[in-house]
Amino acid sequence: MKGINIVSTGRCLPEKVIDNDTLSTFVDTSDEWIYTRTGIKMRHKCEEESNTFLACGAAKEALKKAKEKENIDENDIGVVIVATTTGDNAFPSTACMVAKELGLSNEIIAFDISAACSGFVYGLEIVRGLLINSHKKYGLLIGSEQISKILNYEDRTTCVLFGDGAGAALIKLDDSLYVHKAYADGNFEGLNCTGVGKKDNYLHMDGKAVFKAAVTAFDQAIKDALDEKNLTLDDIDHVVCHQANVRIINHVANKHKESKDKFYVNIDRYANTSAASIPIALDELYENNKIKKGQKVLLVAFGAGFTWSSAIYTA
C-alpha cells in the first residue's frame, strides 16, 4: 500500500483570544470550572476573519514551508480538500476558494468534506486515494473551522469548549508505513447542529454521552490501527488526538498504560477547533522539531455524526 509523506504544515488562528475569565463576564462560568473539566484556558475567535481566510492562511503557510524544503511548483498540486462543517458558503466550496486564492491551476480536484472533528484524518485517506490516480504530485489537506458562528454564547455547556482556527498539510505519496481506519454511526445523537435555513442552527451537545462515546471510539480506532501492522503503542513515537477534552486524552493514555508525554496536548491554548485541531497540533510538533524523520505518528479523532478515525504514518 502506498503511504503518505507530510511535506509541510501550516496553521492560522484569528487574532482575538478569549480566556476563561473573559467568558465568565457574560456567561455563568469560571476559569476553575472550565479548566478542571476540560483543560481549556483560552480560545481564538473570529471577528473580521472568515473560515476561508483561516483556510487560506494555513495553506499559504504550509506552501511557504514546503518551498524552503524542496522545489515545489504549485502546478503540481492536484488535490485541495478542506475538512469543515462551518464553511462560509453552501457553495462554492471553501476548497475552491482556497485554490482561487493560491492561484492554482483549474486542472484540480477541490471540494469540502463534512466529518466534523474527524475531518482531517478522513481527509488523509481521500487525498492519498486521489493522488494514486493523479498525474500530479501533491495534495493540500486543510482542516478549518469557525465554530464560533454556531455557538450559543448563553449556553455555558458548549460555548466554553470551542475555538476557531485552521491547520494545513501538503502531502505526497511515498512507500513508508501507512495505516488508515475510518468509522461512522449515524445513530449517535449526542452532538449535532442543524443545517442552513433552520431556525435553531446552534451546536447542541450531551457532554456525558460524548465523553462515553469518545473514549470507546478512541480505544477502537487505536487498537485497530495498531493491530493491522502488529504494532503496539511502544512502537509509536507520537500520538496526536483530536483536542476535545484533556480528560478524554488522559483517560486513553491511562488505559493503555502509556506516558502522557507521548500524547500531545494543546487544548489549553486553542480549545476544541474540530477538524482543525489535529493539523494545528501537527504544525506545532513539526515547528518545534518534535517529530523526527522516520518516527511513527498515530493520529486519532472522533466527531459528531458520529465519525471516528485513525491513521499511522512515518514522518
* Residues with catalytic function: 117, 242, 272
C-alpha cell at 295: 518516527
Q: Which residues pair with 302 in a beta bridge?
A: 308
Q: How far apart are CA 138 and CA 172, in angstroms?
A: 5
List all residues 6 or more positions away from 279 whose beta carbon is below 8 Å from its beta carbon.
9, 11, 58, 120, 141, 142, 143, 166, 167, 168, 169
- Can you point out the beta strands (E) in 227-273? 238-241
Q: At what angle do helices 119-132 and 277-287 cross, to 10 degrees?
A: 80
CA end-to-end distance (rounded Å), the chain: 16
* C-beta of residue 288 within 8 angstroms of C-beta of residue 230: no
* C-beta of residue 308 within 8 angstroms of C-beta of residue 120: no
Q: How far apart are CA 138 and CA 101, in angstroms?
A: 17
